[in-house]
Amino acid sequence: MELTERKKKVLRSVVDLYIRTAEPVGSKAITELPDMKYSSATIRNEMAELTTMGYLEQPHTSAGRIPSAAGYRLYVDELMSDYRLSIDETRSISTAIEEKMQRVDKMVEKVAKLVSQATDLPAISVASRHGSATVKRFDLILAGQGSVILVVMLSSDEVVNKLIKLPVSVTETDTKLLGAVLNAAMTGLTADEFTAELLEKVMAAAGVAAALVPVIVDFTTDTLRRSGSTNMAVAGHSRLLGLPEYRDVDKAQKVLSSIDEDALSNLPAVMMNEHGTKVLVGPENVAQELKDTSVVMTKFDIGDGMQGMIGVVGPTRMDYAKVTARLSYFAESLSKLFTKPETPQLPEAPHEDQ
Amino acid sequence: MELTERKKKVLRSVVDLYIRTAEPVGSKAITELPDMKYSSATIRNEMAELTTMGYLEQPHTSAGRIPSAAGYRLYVDELMSDYRLSIDETRSISTAIEEKMQRVDKMVEKVAKLVSQATDLPAISVASRHGSATVKRFDLILAGQGSVILVVMLSSDEVVNKLIKLPVSVTETDTKLLGAVLNAAMTGLTADEFTAELLEKVMAAAGVAAALVPVIVDFTTDTLRRSGSTNMAVAGHSRLLGLPEYRDVDKAQKVLSSIDEDALSNLPAVMMNEHGTKVLVGPENVAQELKDTSVVMTKFDIGDGMQGMIGVVGPTRMDYAKVTARLSYFAESLSKLFTKPETPQLPEAPHEDQ
DNA sequence: CTTAGCACTCCGTTTCTTTGAGTGCTAAGC
DNA sequence: GCTTAGCACTCAAAGAAACGGAGTGCTAAG
């Protein structure tokens, strides 16, 4: 069967209405829409056919229709009208982002909060590095009363440090020597290449400060591993409960606990190969617990070999147009912010609404 | 009216049962308890009096009794039997904690998660510094191709760093000079003492590297401020929904959103002056949204001038004995871990159960 | 002081009825 | 041939009535 223009129009109307009201949509409600020049009987016929085609569903005989997963899919891919951000919206997103975001992990938390606020849904924010890091250089600073500050610069230009309290006292000559040894032997290597032999070799060459070596190697290994890992935050759990579909506590709990736990930790992997904004409608989700839930995600660029991702979780009946628009704008703004950190240049508002 | 031993025993039984079942407790249920040698009629009389005394409440005439806030208070203060941690419990807490906790902010997140797991309730974890931090020393490391690494050591021995990409190229002599100037002029000061005049003075003395000064001062100010601030994490939101009292979505939402937002950010302040474990029963909470909710919190010592706090949020009917025991053990373990970081010495299990 | 007995209250549950929105189908109209 | 008015039918949701039973307070006897 063919999808005529009118069928598409009806389907769009049903989805739009259902998104707004969360109630099954009847034929009469459709006819009452502006520029629907047909009677309820005609609409009924169309809806019946859309149902047999699998785009709509009927909770029970004498109820209106609700969109099926396929219906949402079609809606998201072809039917939905672009949501146009108002200047107010772009402005509030922009100013929210403009505040300094110092460290990546804090940033992740903050972004999750902001996205959740902007969409009124639980939000996820992820930052992760691709490829494995190596050490670019070591520095040791003698910091008085038997303390040494270890400063490690990674291949990504990320710099980390650790204060080491010494069991023995060392002189500047010692630390200079140790620094030279470390830089000679251990730069350019990944964490996996820090073998036991290497450790021994370095210790042998390190002289007086050899006691420091294990601590340094441990810390560095850990840092390299951590740096390759993923930073992730969730915010706005409670917003889910405001939605009628989650008045059922059991449903809500399933979703909430799955976003708290590991169910989402594979999502980044799923997403990382994608581009742009991705919408996963209900059953398209891998996780069983999210069958009645949709996920919308967008990637953005952090620079320094890192990649960010933001997304929201909500009912299949969510305002895809609005959510996608806001997420995209967020992602765009964040990309610009991070790739040109000195003069944060936010993207223009797509245009100004009324 | 006097609180006889028997009344206390009855009250304790009512609270215990109600904690277990979440159902109003009738006189018959009490008589069925071991070592209750009285008939239901006697218990009824006692319960009636406990009700007029304000320790129990009756949802309606033909229902059993539930504890009032005053009842819980008395229970917590005097009546409840010590909950004795089993070896299994202490062991699982201990091993959970023993994993390395690198940075304070990560630690806070992790601890929140652990506490929530251990209590099966939403948990809060806070770390905050008292007193304002100052800078102990500055170091500058020239890191090739026009980059300088700034390393700042705070009064708390916390060390932070920042990579600064240079607009102009500088030599080691320049950075040495700048380092000396910074150390001379800006150590021992709090963020508030970084005035505009000071900035000018330092820039004048800094020579070639003067362009770096504003960046450095900004970063340092920010770090000092941040270091004085509070780190906080919440975990296990969804556990609340497992409890019968929060089948009512509205209630759950109120509590969840209030722990997400600011309602709790004053709790640390409330607690910081207290010692040991503090139980806030329902209406004793300041926040209106938490009137039907109890909060249990404990402080612990992080060292380095920092203080930690862990706590849980749950229904007034929560297993105070168990929760308090686990929280205390957590706090103790964490204190030991942080104050003797090199050889994490966990406290002994209070004793071994059966 | 304790307890058996009893009338009474009132919530939660079940069952039945009612209501009404929405449907599918048929037949008439354009 | 497409559209639409009309109508019988369905079925969830809301309301009303009846029931059962857990628990109470009180009284009077042990």
We report the CATH number of the domain holding residue B18 as: 1.10.10.10
Position A93 in a domain: yes
Position A348 in a domain: no
Query: What is the spatial distance between Cα B215 and Cα A334, in angstroms, rounded to a whole number?
Result: 22
Same domain (yes/no): B156, B186: yes
Read out DSSP for A14-32? HHHHHHHH-SPBPHHHHHT
B240: nearest CA partner in chain A = A253
Same domain (yes/no): B21, B62: yes
Higher-pLDDT residue of B126 and A43 is A43
Same domain (yes/no): B73, B101: no
Q: Is A180 exposed, middle or buried (0-12, 13-18, 19+ CB in 10 A)?
A: middle
Final residue before a domain boundary, out of A166, A201, A228:
A228
Same domain (yes/no): A10, A155: no
Buried b or exposed e, range A130-150, using 16+ CB within 10 angstroms: eeebbbbbbbbbbbeeeebbb
- Residue-level pLDDT at A266: 66
| pLDDT of A99 over the 80 cut | no
* Among chain B residues 267-326, those with CB within 7 Å of any atom of strand D: none
In the structure, what pLDDT confidence band is assigned to residue A89 with cuts at 50, 70 and 90? confident
Position B354 in a domain: no
Higher-pLDDT residue of A126 and B103 is A126
Q: In this structure, what token pair is assigned to residue B67?
A: 């504890």
Q: In this structure, what token pair is assigned to residue B351?
A: 């004793």
> Which nucleotides of strand C lie under 7 Å from a protein CB?
2-5, 8-11, 20-26
Same domain (yes/no): A148, A110: no
Final residue before a domain boundary, out of B209, B228, B247:
B228
SS3 B100: coil
Q: How many CB atoms lie within 10 A of CB B342?
A: 7
Q: Which residue out of B99, B150, B151, B152 would a mutagenesis test of the A interface target, given it has the greatest number of A Cβ atoms within 10 Å?
A: B151
In chain A, the number of structural domains is: 3
Query: What is the spatial distance between Cα B300 and Cα A29, in angstroms, rounded to a whole number?
Result: 61
> Does A253 sit within 8 Å of B249, measured CB to CB?
no
Q: Is B354 exposed, middle or buried (0-12, 13-18, 19+ CB in 10 A)?
A: exposed
> Does A153 sit within 8 Å of B149, measured CB to CB?
yes
| pLDDT of A114 over the 50 cut | yes
SS3 A280: strand
Q: In this structure, what token pair is assigned to residue A207?
A: 């002289």
Buried b or exposed e, range B181-218, using 16+ CB within 10 angstroms: bbeebbeebbbeebeeeebeebbebbeebbebbebbbe
Q: Which residue is nearest nucleotide C9, judged by alpha carbon to C1' distance?
A: B62
User: Would you tell me which residues have their CB within 7 A of strand C?
Assistant: A 24, 26-29, 40-41, 44, 47-48, 51, 58, 61-65; B 37-39, 41-42, 45, 59-63
> Does B160 sit within 8 Å of A162, measured CB to CB?
no
- Residue-level pLDDT at A59: 92
Query: What is the spatial distance between Cα A300 and Cα A307, in angstroms, rounded to a whole number?
Result: 6
In Å, how far from its chain's centre is CA A350? 22
Same domain (yes/no): A240, A314: yes
| d(CA B155, C1' C29) / Å | 91
Return the H-helix or E-strand segment holding A269.
helix A267-272
Q: What is the DSSP letter of A118?
A: H
Position A324 in a domain: yes
Final residue before a domain boundary, out of A200, A228, A256:
A228
Arithmetic mean of pLDDT, A252-275: 74
Cα three-residue angle B21-B47-B4, rounded to 5 degrees: 115
Provide the shortest C-alpha distance from residue B10 to chain A (in Å).
34
Arithmetic mean of pLDDT, A204-211: 82
Higher-pLDDT residue of A287 and A10 is A10
Provide the shortest C-alpha distance from residue A159 to chain B (in Å).
7
* Segments forming the whole domain that contains residue B92: 87-122+236-339
Among A245-249, A313-317, B272-276, name the one with the lowest average pLDDT. B272-276
**Residues of chain A with C-beta less than 8 angstroms from the C-beta of B139:** 141, 149
In Å, how far from its chain's centre is CA B24? 32
Buried b or exposed e, range B9-28, using 16+ CB within 10 angstroms: bbbbbbbbbbbeeeebbbbe
Same domain (yes/no): B248, B311: yes
Shortest CB distance from B161 goes to which of A143, A159, A252? A159
Q: In this structure, what token pair is assigned to residue A313?
A: 């979780």
- Residue-level pLDDT at A343: 40
SS3 B26: coil
Same domain (yes/no): A191, A319: no
A47: which nucleotide lies closest, measuring CA to C1'?
C23
> Does A163 sit within 8 Å of B149, measured CB to CB?
no
Provide the shortest C-alpha distance from residue B186 to chain A (in Å).
17
Is the minimum distance from the CB of B13 to strand D below 7 Å? no
Collect the ranges in chain B with pLDDT lower than 70. 1, 98-105, 131, 228-229, 261-273, 304, 340-354
Is the minimum distance from the CB of A45 to strand D below 7 Å? yes
Among A40-44, A237-241, B111-115, B261-265, name the one with the lowest average pLDDT. B261-265
Q: In this structure, what token pair is assigned to residue A72?
A: 């949402």
Of A278, A275, A290, A281, nearest to A73 by C-alpha is A281
Residues facing A165 on adjacent strands: A147
Which residue pairs from B144-148 have beta carbons closer than 8 angstroms and sit at least 24 positions apart in sequence? Answer: B144/A137, B147/A157, B148/B175, B148/B212
Residues 6+ apart with CB under 8 A from B171: B142, B208
> Does B105 sit within 8 Å of A105, measured CB to CB?
yes
> Each residue of A161-196: pLDDT tens digit?
888 887 777 888 888 889 999 999 989 888 888 898
Position B127 in a domain: no
Position A347 in a domain: no
Same domain (yes/no): A182, A244: no
Return the H-helix or E-strand segment holding A315.
strand A306-315
Same domain (yes/no): B11, B63: yes
Whether the CA torsion B164, B165, B171, B172 is positive or negative: it is positive
> Does B105 sit within 8 Å of A226, measured CB to CB?
no
Q: Are B72 and B316 in contact (CB under 8 A)?
A: yes
- Residue-level pLDDT at A265: 64
Sheet holding B123-129: strands in order across? B230-235, B123-129, B306-315, B293-303, B277-280
- Residue-level pLDDT at B232: 85
Q: In this structure, what token pair is assigned to residue B58?
A: 């009756």
SS3 B218: helix
> Does A246 sit within 8 Å of B249, measured CB to CB?
yes
Higher-pLDDT residue of A98 and B64 is B64
Length of chain A: 354
Position A349 in a domain: no
| pLDDT of A232 over the 90 cut | no
> Does A161 sit within 8 Å of B160, measured CB to CB?
yes
A259: nearest CA partner in chain B = B238
Q: What is the DSSP letter of B136?
A: E
Same domain (yes/no): A143, A170: yes
Position A190 in a domain: yes
Sheet holding A159-165: strands in order across? A135-142, A147-154, A159-165
SS3 A153: strand
Same domain (yes/no): A111, A246: yes
Query: What is the spatial distance between Cα B198 and Cα B204, in angstroms, rounded to a whole number?
Result: 10
Q: How many CB atoms lie within 10 A of CB A282?
A: 18
